[in-house]
Amino acid sequence: MKRVLVTGGAGFLGSHLCDRLLAEGHLVIAVDNLHTGSLKNIEHLAQNPHFEFIEQDICEPLDLQVDEIYNLACPASPIHYQENPIRTFETSVLGTRNMLLLAKNHGAKLLQASTSEVYGDPQVHPQVESYWGHVNPIGIRSCYDEGKRGAETLCFDFRRVHGLRVKVVRIFNTYGPRMHPQDGRVVSNFVVQALKGQDLTVYGQGQQTRSFCYYSDLIEGIYLSMQTPDDFSGPINLGNPHEFTILELAKKVLELVPETVAGSGEAGSQASVSKIVHRELPADDPTQRRPNISLAQKVLDWTPQVELDEGLRKTMAYFKSL
Ligand code: NAD
Ligand code: UDP
């Protein structure tokens, strides 16, 4: 039984990761400042003797005896990470520095949740790990993009200078149950809007693309990445390689509304009353994104299993149940 720390453990991905690690028989400590996470995501673990929750900001030093650290703490939705950009940058850089020091002091292994945003608005498509990216260092997304890039730098320098065992995973857009209804990212926005009969807000013309990974596939990829040999640090892309325009996503969500409503036993399961409306495209919004996952396929023997229709059905059923 290992003692495993999950920072951001009350968030969307962090809480699912806690479930997975507990199912593997480990002792799990979740640390979270509840900025975008919620105690609701981990309330089912409150009585579990192998689980502990500590409310703390990772920018503050932390000392715990642990064997492994999954560093997921950081707001991930543009509206939330742009709310307090200085804090976002500090969380990635100072927070990751604190977690690396903790790993160093206790001989622990650390996995860093990096992001496809390190590629910025990519000019290489699909994105391979060897691509250095195309990032605006002074724009409204920079606090997140450059913060995560700085965190990767710290991980690799701790490996070179102190021999620390680190793993860097670059996560591409992931969605599913436990996303906060007001999270602000595109899947939860469209699903919540569609289920409420509100119009779906497509930013710009909706021709920008993303590749959507269901959370269960992503958690499997993260877990497998931590088990790789000590001399493997990545970075490694984790995401679903099937690419959609945002307009296609909006149309798919609208198509699935009648069966979601019918599935919940409610009357009136005809076509959605929502329409698609266009809103201003935010600055520096990447025009295309799709992971090349050859490395993950080779090193982890991992390929996502859940395609968008199935994942959306499950996600919509979850939001309907709230
Ligand atoms: P989330 O917002 O649900 O989870 C982030 C968690 O970190 C929240 O519980 C929040 O309260 C906590 N947190 C934020 N700042 C903190 C701080 N300073 N100290 C302690 N806790 C703090 O988002 P998520 O989608 O679960 O993202 C988890 C991680 O995965 C993030 O690091 C994010 O950058 C990364 N990631 C996610 C995606 C995705 O599509 N979901 C894509 C790329 C990267
Ligand atoms: N988007 C949108 N409507 C929304 C929310 C997002 O059209 O209500 C677009 C956004 O402009 C971006 C894409 O959907 O092009 C994905 O946005 P998200 O915030 O989910 O993640 P990103 O990949 O941009 O970090």
23-49: pLDDT as tens digits = 999 999 999 999 999 999 999 999 999
Name the band, by pLDDT with cuts 50, 70 and 90, for residue 221: very high
283: pLDDT strictly greater than 60 = yes
Q: Span 252-273, mean pLDDT?
A: 79
| Predicted local distance difference test score (pLDDT) of residue 255 | 96
Q: What 3-state class would DSSP assign to 208?
A: coil
Q: Name the residue with higher pLDDT: 145 or 259.
A: 145
Using most ligand atoms within 8 A of CB, pick from 20, 170, 171 the residue to mutate for ligand 1.
171
- Number of compact structural domains in the chain: 1
Name the band, by pLDDT with cuts 50, 70 and 90, for residue 266: low
Rounded to whole angstroms, how far apart are CA atoms 74 and 114? 10
| pLDDT tens track for 37-88 | 999 999 999 999 999 999 999 999 999 999 999 999 999 999 999 999 999 9
Name the band, by pLDDT with cuts 50, 70 and 90, for residue 270: low
233 lies in some domain: yes
248 lies in some domain: no
| pLDDT tens track for 166-208 | 999 999 999 999 999 999 999 999 999 999 999 999 999 999 9
264: pLDDT strictly greater than 90 = no
- To which residue do tokens 């009136």 refer? 268
Chain mean pLDDT for the chain: 96
Task: Give the CATH number of the domain where residue 23 resides.
Answer: 3.40.50.720
217: pLDDT strictly greater than 80 = yes
Q: Span 135-157, mean pLDDT?
A: 98
Residue 214 annotated to the active site: no
| Predicted local distance difference test score (pLDDT) of residue 259 | 86
185 lies in some domain: no
96: pLDDT strictly greater than 70 = yes
166 lies in some domain: yes
| Predicted local distance difference test score (pLDDT) of residue 262 | 83
60 lies in some domain: yes
112 lies in some domain: yes
Rounded to whole angstroms, how far apart are CA atoms 102 and 39? 25
Rounded to whole angstroms, how far apart are CA atoms 99 and 113? 12
For the chain, what percent of residues have pLDDT higher than 70?
98
- In degrees to the nearest 10, what's the CA dihedral of 248, 189, 215, 235? 80
272: pLDDT strictly greater than 80 = no
Question: What tokens were used for 160?
Answer: 């070179």
Q: How many CB atoms neighbour CB 48 within 10 A?
A: 14
Residue having the nearest C-alpha atom to atom 5 of ligand 2:
186
Nearest to 7 by CA among 91, 123, 120, 118: 91
Confirm if 5 and 29 have CB atoms less than 8 A apart: yes
| Ligand 1 atom with least separation from CA of 15 | 26
| Predicted local distance difference test score (pLDDT) of residue 269 | 57
| Residues with a CB atom less than 6 Å from ligand 2 | 77-78, 173, 185-186, 189, 201-203, 208, 210, 246, 282, 285
268: pLDDT strictly greater than 80 = no
| Smallest-distance ligand from the CA of 32 | 1
Ligand 1 within 6 A of CB of 73: yes
271 alpha-carbon distance from chain centroid:
31
218 lies in some domain: yes
Question: What tokens were used for 321?
Answer: 């149940």
| pLDDT tens track for 113-136 | 999 999 999 999 999 999 999 999
Q: Greatest CA span in the chain, whole angstroms?
A: 63
Q: Span 274-298, mean pLDDT?
A: 98
199 lies in some domain: no
Domain of 137?
3-178+212-239+289-304
Residue having the nearest C-alpha atom to atom 21 of ligand 2:
185
267: pLDDT strictly greater than 70 = no
